[in-house]
Amino acid sequence: MFIIDNYILAVFLCIITMFCWGSWANTQKLASKKWGFPLFYWDYTLGVILLSLVFGLTLGSNGISGQAFLPNLGNASINAIFYAFLGGVVFNIANLLLVAAIDIAGMAIAFPIGIGIALVLGVVVNYIASPVGDPMFLFIGVGLVTLAIIVDALAYKRISKGAATTKGIAISLAAGILMGFFYRFVAVSMSLDFSNPTEGLLTPYTAVFIFSIGIFISNFLFNTFFMYKPISGEKVAYKDYFKLGTPKLHFIGILGGVIWCLGFILNMIAAGEAGFAISYGLGQGATMVAAIWGIFIWKEFKDSPKGTNYLIGLMFFLFFVGLSLIIMAKNV
């Protein structure tokens, strides 16, 4: 299977993750307003599972290093399968809440709060379990990213009023707390040595595939709830998926899942060299990418009062310095 043994390349893969995780939600924006996010999300989950299978059967099955995808899947222990599957379940409910928050409050607030909290929790949890990197650089970097999140929330508060914003923030908080733990469950299922996997443990490709199965199966519980008891928008039914869906809408949803899954697979591959805490922390720099989309493309700050641009500039500066320190944590 394809693995890497170079930290610079690992950082590069994490940067790709950052852009994938910070950009996939644009596909939800591109979907029709009549195509509610629960319907969009079914196609999203299909995109995740399809790409994880394609990567497993290609990059995960070729080469002389490690164990091929299908043999590794066949040799996986029940314990490893359970944790990778559980990671998918936890991620699914967190991501559904995040998508709902985006629908209510916009990308510029939902991503910084939800994914920002997930970044802090995820880095702490993964570093405690697998302490790779200098803790001073790593946690100062995380601290600066936390400040960037606070500054972004203050900037958004200047242009947001009403219950919708409060509701969006509350949902973002819940999504972030759950999102902070899903990565650890997947990491527990994986062997730390990708070249010679520990018996019963998973390679990155197998772990992501089982993770995607967890998303898909749990979707019948969680997403069904959001369909019939929506946090925002109108109630939808399963028949609406076939009645209202067009090839274009289905393609957009699947594309969203493919973009996110590409980032996750590359992040898992990078974790073998960078460590889980650093790899996850860099990937969740997606917050900054999402804010760029929300600010410059979707114009969510176009009516902001004077002084807001200074807060936005400070936010980007703190993100940049914080992410730089996270990268440096492995080299010091």
Global confidence as pTM: 0.92
Residue 1 lies in a domain: no
Residue 327 scores a pLDDT above 70: yes
pLDDT at 204: 97
Residue 278 lies in a domain: yes
Positive or negative, the CA dihedral 301, 303, 305, 309 is positive
| pLDDT tens digits along 260-296 | 999 999 999 999 999 999 999 999 888 788 778 888 8
| pLDDT tens digits along 112-158 | 788 778 988 999 999 999 999 999 999 999 999 888 878 877 787 77
Q: Which amino acid is at 117?
A: I
Q: Which residue range forms the structural domain that includes residue 234? A: 7-328
Residue 2 lies in a domain: no
Residue 217 lies in a domain: yes
Residue 21 lies in a domain: yes
Distance in angstroms (rounded) separating the CA atoms of residues 18 and 240: 33
Number of domains in the chain: 1
Residue 174 lies in a domain: yes
Residue 46 lies in a domain: yes
pLDDT at 107: 61
| pLDDT tens digits along 74-104 | 999 999 999 999 999 999 999 898 877 877 7
Q: What is the mean pLDDT of residues 293-304?
A: 83
Residue 184 lies in a domain: yes
